[in-house]
Amino acid sequence: MTPRPQDEMRAYKSGGRLARRRALVTGGDSGIGRAVAIGFAKEGADVAVAYLDEHDDAARTKRLVEAEGQRCILLPGDLSDEAFCSSMVAEAARDLGGLDILVNNIAVQYPQDDLSAISGEQLRRTFAVNVFSMFYVTRAALLHLDRGDAIVNTTSVTAYRGSGHLIDYASTKAAIVGFTRSMAANLADKGIRMNAVAPGPVWTPLIPSSFDAGHVGEFGQSAPLGRPGQPDEIAPSYVFLASEDAAYMTGQVLHPNGGTIIGG
């Protein structure tokens, strides 16, 4: 990508907020997930990274986490597969010695300008990766999480404003808001918090892999700040929600989106 995303948290100032915590980050090989994994490591957490098959990207995340003196475990596989999600979470918990934090971040998008162009196969794949995986991974992780632990989900500004060319993607992101609010209520008595982050346009590998050159060249310019965000600017929201700084927050969504006003 030109320019390269800022996703290595080089300027981030840590404060030991996640010391001795153990985190699982899905989609942690690049972009927002990579920045979150590194931010967690800078705050003192060991990290397991689940991803599909971007092995070089994942290896770079691992090197950057380990450069902070923390452990990093790589767990490649298809998160739309229920059986893999269960085995992956179990492996992460076993290798890290437990789990305290889960970040559900994996997602795909396939732009289409007309509903009739969205095939049943595309619809099923988008929901399987973006929504079903969140159910599968969370269900498996709850076997290991306890009072005081935290789950952070990635939704999107499109969940609130919609998207005429990402209809199925925006629908999954709206479903994630409902999942977050519902599970926050469900888990409140157990003392496990679930919140979400709804980024606006962010410069990640998902963008040039999804859109044509014309769209990529204008990406993010419609945001009030006039540019796309960088993963490093989004990751601190996840650090906050995963930490004790957010101990009185559950069922909430943070909106690092470049200035778009969200009313819901």
Distance CA 80, CA 27 (A): 12
Of the given ranges (162-176, 197-211, 235-249), which has the lowest mean pLDDT?
Answer: 197-211
Distance CA 47, CA 21 (A): 9
Tens digit of each residue's pLDDT (9 = 90 or more) over 29-41: 999 999 999 999 9
State how far the alpha carbon of 190 is from the alpha carbons of 90, 120, 247, in Å. Answer: 21, 38, 13
Residues noted as catalytic:
169
Distance CA 57, CA 53 (A): 9
- Strands 253-254, 193-197: pairing is parallel
Tens digit of each residue's pLDDT (9 = 90 or more) over 48-84: 999 999 999 999 999 999 999 999 999 999 999 999 9
Distance CA 235, CA 42 (A): 12
- Strands 46-51, 72-76: pairing is parallel
Name the fold adopted by 22-254.
Rossmann fold (3.40.50)
Instruction: Grade residue 209 by pLDDT with cuts at 50, 70 and 90.
Output: low
254 burial (CB, 10 Å; 0-12 / 13-18 / 19+) is buried
Nearest-Å Rg of the Cα atoms of the chain is 17
Average pLDDT, the chain: 93
Mean pLDDT calculated for residue range 194-209: 83
Omega into 208 within 30° of 0, i.e. cis?
Answer: no
Query: Which pLDDT value is given to residue 143?
Result: 98
